[in-house]
């Protein structure tokens, strides 16, 4: 993989990971619509590590609270921050189980197609629009219970489809349940931490075993670029959601889906 390709992928990953527009779809489009080869899942997850660091720094207060919540649990105290940690853990279980089964079966590569990306963008853009337009705006993370956490976690399963968007489906479900836009985004991004961390640890082991110095260097550079882009993207999205709806993301996804269908069916 060339340095130029690493830069392109890292910037795309960082800018799109936490926006409800599907980073996996945009990464796949790089090789589906250009002459660049498929980077494969290894470099995909490596640059996710940079975006993981970005979300942990942006939400450092929440991360610190979660760490304190873990200490509370170890002391046998079920505090509000301990409950939030448990909710995040429960919401992570579905994607871990289903993701493992899909990876083990080899089905993941079969859904990384232009058609899947196009239709997933259109379908899940419509669902996001309906949830954001019709959902109440009176709930915050402190109002969360087990049912809400599990529903958001189950929705995350759809993120296996490129184009569905992990952040998109979790924000959609949170908005459907009546959570404020910034709170929906906040829970979605905190939920990304265990998911990306688990994948990052797995790829770290693979990189170490490969002994491929060039791949390791590329992964480090990609993580750094992805971190900078993701931090800027998170800040911009949170500022936007404090002032307006998610319509801009819906319109972008609909436009992208239509263009991709045009490319697919009209040559």
Q: Is the pLDDT of residue 250 over 90?
A: yes
User: What tens digit of pLDDT does each residue of 205-241 get?
Assistant: 766 676 665 666 777 888 899 999 999 999 999 999 9
Q: Are 37 and 2 in contact (CB under 8 A)?
A: no
Whether the Cβ atoms of residue 187 and residue 241 lie closer than 8 Å to each other: no
With 80 as the cut, is the pLDDT of residue 27 above it?
A: yes
Q: Residues near 205 by Cβ (< 8 Å), separated by ≥ 6?
A: none
Range name among 41-55, 70-84, 183-197 with the lowest pLDDT average: 41-55
pLDDT at 183: 97
pLDDT of residue 56: 96
Question: Tokens for 110?
Answer: 């079969």
Position 80 pLDDT exceeds 90: yes
Tokens at residue 239, please? 């500022």
Computed over every residue of the chain, the mean pLDDT equals: 89
pLDDT given at position 107: 79
Place 20 in a pLDDT band, splitting at 50, 70 and 90. Answer: very high
- What is the structure's pLDDT at 222? 84
> Does residue 78 surpass a pLDDT of 80?
yes
pLDDT at 41: 55
Q: Is the pLDDT of residue 130 over 70?
A: yes
Would you state the pLDDT for residue 203? 65
pLDDT score of 185 more than 60: yes
Q: What is the pLDDT of residue 219?
A: 75
Mean per-residue pLDDT, 243-247: 96
Is the pLDDT at 204 greater than 80? The verdict is no
Q: State percent of the chain over pLDDT 90.
A: 66
């Amino acid at each position: 993989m060339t340095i130029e390709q690493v830069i392109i992928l890292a910037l795309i990953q960082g800018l799109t990971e936490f926006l409800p527009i599907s980073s996996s779809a945009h990464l796949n489009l790089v090789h589906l619509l250009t002459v660049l080869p498929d980077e494969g899942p290894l470099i995909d997850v490596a640059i996710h590590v940079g975006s993981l660091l970005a979300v942990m720094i942006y939400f450092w207060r929440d991360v610190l609270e979660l760490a304190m919540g873990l200490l509370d649990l170890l002391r046998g105290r079920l505090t509000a921050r301990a409950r939030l940690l448990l909710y995040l853990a429960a919401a992570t279980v579905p994607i871990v189980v289903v993701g493992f089964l899909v990876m083990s079966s080899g089905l993941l590569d079969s859904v990384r197609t232009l058609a899947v990306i196009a239709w997933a963008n259109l379908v899940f853009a419509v669902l996001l629009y309906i949830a954001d337009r019709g959902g109440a705006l009176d709930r915050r993370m402190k109002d969360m219970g087990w049912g809400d956490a599990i529903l958001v976690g189950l929705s995350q399963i759809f993120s296996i489809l490129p184009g569905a968007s992990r952040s998109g489906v979790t924000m959609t479900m949170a908005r459907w349940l009546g959570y404020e836009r910034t709170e929906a985004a906040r829970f979605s991004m905190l939920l990304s931490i265990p998911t990306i961390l688990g994948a990052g640890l797995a790829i770290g082991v693979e990189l170490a075993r490969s002994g491929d110095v060039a791949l390791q260097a590329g992964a480090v550079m990609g993580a750094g670029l992805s971190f900078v882009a993701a931090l800027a993207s998170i800040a911009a999205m949170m500022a936007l959601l404090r002032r307006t709806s998610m319509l801009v993301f819906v319109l972008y996804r609909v436009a992208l889906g239509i263009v991709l269908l045009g490319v697919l069916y009209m040559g």
